[in-house]
Amino acid sequence: MFKSRLLKAAFSLCIAASAGIDAAYASDVTQPAAPEQSADFVAHDFQFSDGTVLPEVRIHYVTIGTPHRDAHGRIDNAILLMHGTTASSQEFLTPLMRRELYASGQPLDAQRYFIVIPDGLGRGGSSKPSDGLRTRFPRYGYSDVVEANHQLLVDGLHVTHLRLVLGVSMGGMQTWMWGERYPDMADALMPVVSQPIAIAGRNWLWRQMVIGAIRNDPDWHNGDYTTEPTQWLRVMPIFAVLTGNPARLQAQAPDRRTATDLYDNLIEQARKSDANDVLYWFDSSYDYNPTAQLNKIRARVLAVNFNDDLLNAVDLGVMQRLIPTVARGRFVEVPETEHSYGHQTQTHPEEWKQYVGELLAAH
C-alpha to C-alpha distance for 105 and 197, rounded to whole angstroms: 35
Looking at residue 32, what is its pLDDT?
Answer: 52
Asked if pLDDT for residue 14 goes beyond 60, the answer is: no
pLDDT of res. 29: 35
CB atoms near residue 203 (< 10 Å): 17
Instruction: Sort strands 78-82 and 53-64 into parallel, antiparallel or unpaired.
Output: unpaired
Phi then psi for 285, rounded to 5 degrees? -80, 0
Write the class of the CATH domain 16-198+289-361: alpha beta
**Count of CB atoms situated within 10 Å of the CB of 174:** 26
**Is pLDDT at 2 greater than 70 in this prediction?**
no
Tell me the percentage of the chain whose pLDDT exceeds 90. Answer: 89
**Is residue 332 predicted with pLDDT exceeding 80?**
yes
Q: What angle do CA 78, 80, 82 make, to 5 degrees?
A: 170
For the chain, strand residue ranges (E) read 36-47, 53-64, 78-82, 114-118, 164-168, 188-192, 300-306, 329-334
What percent of the chain lies above the pLDDT cut of 70?
A: 91
What's the rounded Cα separation, in Å, for the pair 350 and 340? 11
What does DSSP say about strands 114-118 and 78-82: parallel, antiparallel, or unpaired? parallel
Local confidence band at 12 (pLDDT 50, 70, 90 cut-offs):
very low
d(CA 98, CA 24): 9
pLDDT digits (tens, 9 = 90+) for 270-314: 999 999 999 999 999 999 999 999 999 999 999 999 999 999 999
Taking residues 160-182, report their average pLDDT. Answer: 98
| pLDDT reading at 27 higher than 50 | no
Task: Tell me: pLDDT of 19 over 80.
Answer: no
**Sign of torsion over alpha carbons 350, 330, 338, 257:** positive
Q: 201-255, pLDDT tens digit by residue?
A: 999 999 999 999 999 999 999 999 999 999 999 999 999 999 999 999 999 999 9
Alpha carbon 301 to its chain centroid, in Å, reads: 17
Segment 83-116, tens digit of pLDDT: 999 999 999 999 999 999 999 999 999 999 999 9
Mean pLDDT of 130-139: 98
This prediction's pTM: 0.91
Q: State mean pLDDT over 6-15.
A: 41
Domain boundaries, the chain: 16-198+289-361
Contacts 24+ apart (CB under 8 A), 218-227: 220/275, 222/135, 223/129, 223/134, 223/135, 223/275, 223/276, 223/279, 224/134, 224/135, 225/275
Q: What is the pLDDT of residue 363?
A: 64
Helices (H), 156-232: 170-181, 201-215
Rg (CA), the chain: 20
Work out the number of other CB atoms within 10 angstroms of the CB of residue 16. Answer: 16
Distance CA 255, CA 260 (A): 9
d(CA 181, CA 330): 19
Is beta strand 78-82 parallel, antiparallel or unpaired with respect to 36-47? unpaired
pLDDT of residue 179: 98
**Residue 40: Cβ-neighbour burial (10 angstroms; 0-12, 13-18, 19+):** middle
Give the span between the Cα atoms of 115 and 113, in whole angstroms: 6
Characterize the bridge pairing of strands 53-64 and 36-47.
Answer: antiparallel
357 pLDDT above the threshold of 90: yes
Angstrom distance (rounded) from CA 113 to CA 75? 10
Band of pLDDT at residue 339, cut at 50, 70 and 90 = confident
Indicate if the pLDDT at residue 24 is higher than 90.
no
Q: At residue 3, does pLDDT exceed 80?
A: no
Integer CA distances (angstroms), 320 to 110, 203, 228, 313, in order:
34, 19, 44, 12
